Structure 1
């Protein structure tokens, strides 16, 4: 990716104006090398700092922070000087837009009757993952076949997310404006934390907490009925009953955002359901005993379904037969 496109792309992602394809392109660029990732993280810190001091905005200073990070990263690269200077103003302008909007709200109190809304929608196609930064600075990862809608405004007392499918959230801390995640029959209330919500099955919503503390309600009520701590999980049934349990390893429920699945003594039926979602295939079992077979291993999203089945067969007592996108599993004799 050339310099101009890279800089403009970073600006769009940090300001919440990137499309799904643009967000994915930036993720690919960040993964190319450690230097790219370090540069992005430094710029993101500057961006977050600007968001955290809205009431004391100095837009010129914020613009200079952006410029200094870009210059430091690209000043030693050959053949970039003229083009870089031309692009610099574009990227700085994109990054400063949300700060200027907020400043306008503060300087003109007569606009209090005019509510400016943020509405953000992200969709992950089946078999694909999506990642983005929400307008409030929170990060969200979506598993395949999932959708999230984020809404917030200057005068709302909550940041509201509607989730269909599975999502992992790193919520930007704001004790005055809680972050609410709604699924078909569950409400998760947080202020700043890291957690996973699996809502593929409306009969059983699973909330897994890695950091912080969240409140969970088995209906659409505002007040949480159960609180969970890191290493705990809340399972919400369709009738509103909530079961809380300890889990030894949260990675088993969150590793998908790293484009891999980690299994430790998991039954094959559960594994098959996940493979169907990732690779868009249909998996059947020759008998019930095969469904209950326990497997331990790691499955990478980057591998093809054929490669994945070959690994499964080589590292277990399972063999497979594949016809088109239909797979039949059975125990080796």
Structure 2
């Protein structure tokens, strides 16, 4: 696999066909996956210490980076998969003043796993942005999320872990849960797999829900509502699986846009009247995904490969 193609993938500029080619190549052998991870670490290290326009050129000069002390950045890059910016924002840290904030943005078609300073593990779905401090303060562990993430939070009873989204906050001590809060979709949902969480709305702090395992909380008409969860297939995206059960066509297409980094235009409104169920690997590609749906109801589609648009007819 050409390294320049891998760097295009990391930067989110690879075409859909190139993304599918890379994902298939990774599945061929453990050695390919190891090469992929190694090159991603290099890319991350260079990205943290280069001008945006010079990342590709600098990433190809590995010996120069070794001599210039890039190994200290590799230790950081080993904990993250894609880092698109290192910003500095004010955050209280006892009497020590502002703390640097790490900002990570994931392009469409990719999924990222990272480890936070407290040892918590997070998986970030496509088109997700997260901000967190390079070190948490003595009282709390607070992060900002726009998108979807799965959390395995390290237990620390003295410092609650708080996820702030556009409309709600999720507070935990140590647990496993999934948060779906893309601001572009005006959506908020938290699903609890293990432990306990407390969810509150920013606009109305009295609107608070304490969630038990195998339940989810979601926002609807300014209220927080709960629902029992019997099937976790929908939340296996971090395994590279796209799963949907009795989902409206519109929501399925939104997921395809997110996972494959393209735009889908639905001209055939008949397909929006039905609910769909399916499961497949993301690496199977958009054509396989659409052919799977075609087994349920008749429709055709056309792909504008140059502009990355799919038309459902």
Larger helix proportion of the pair: 1
Counterpart selection for 1:235 from 211, 218, 241: 218
Counterpart selection for 1:129 from 111, 115, 121: 111
Q: Contact conserved, 1:206 with 1:233, CA < 8 A, in 2?
A: yes
- Given the superposition, is the C-alpha separation of residues 311 and 113 from structure 1 closer, same or farther in structure 2, using an over 3 Å criterion? closer
The structural deviation recorded for 1:303 is 2.1
- Given the superposition, is the C-alpha separation of residues 215 and 224 from structure 1 closer, same or farther in structure 2, using an over 3 Å criterion? farther
1:318 corresponds to 2:298? yes
- Given the superposition, is the C-alpha separation of residues 264 and 214 from structure 1 closer, same or farther in structure 2, using an over 3 Å criterion? same
Structure 2 CA distance for aligned equivalents of residues 268 and 165 of structure 1: 20
Match of residue 143 from structure 1: 125
Structure 1 CA distance for aligned equivalents of residues 207 and 195 of structure 2: 15
Structure 1 CA distance for aligned equivalents of residues 137 and 116 of structure 2: 17
- Comparing 284-293 with 256-265, greater Cα deviation is found at 284-293
Match of residue 30 from structure 2: 32
1:225 corresponds to 2:208? yes
Q: What is the number of residues matched between the two proteins? A: 228
Counterpart selection for 2:194 from 208, 211, 214: 211
The superposition leaves residues 217-245 of structure 1 with CA deviations (integer Å, 9 ceiling, x where unpaired) of: 011777871111111111124x6421111
Match of residue 296 from structure 1: 277
In structure 2, the gaps of 5 or more residues are 1-9, 12-25, 35-70, 77-93
Q: Contact conserved, 2:233 with 2:244, CA < 8 A, in 1?
A: no
The superposition leaves residues 243-296 of structure 1 with CA deviations (integer Å, 9 ceiling, x where unpaired) of: 1111221332x1111111112222222111110111122223344331122222
- Given the superposition, is the C-alpha separation of residues 140 and 118 from structure 1 closer, same or farther in structure 2, using an over 3 Å criterion? farther
In structure 1, the gaps of 5 or more residues are 1-19, 22-27, 37-89, 96-111
Q: Contact conserved, 2:136 with 2:142, CA < 8 A, in 1?
A: no
Q: Contact conserved, 1:116 with 1:154, CA < 8 A, in 2?
A: no
The structural deviation recorded for 1:114 is 4.4
Structure 1 CA distance for aligned equivalents of residues 129 and 174 of structure 2: 21
Secondary structure of the structure 2 residue equivalent to 1:319: coil
Q: CA RMSD in A?
A: 3.0
Structure 2 CA distance for aligned equivalents of residues 155 and 317 of structure 1: 54
The structural deviation recorded for 1:306 is 2.2
Secondary structure of the structure 1 residue equivalent to 2:104: strand
Match of residue 4 from structure 1: none
User: Larger C-alpha radius of gyration, 1 or 2?
Assistant: 1
Which runs of 4 or more aligned residues in structure 1 lie more than 6 Å from their structure 2 counterparts after TM superposition?
A: 220-224
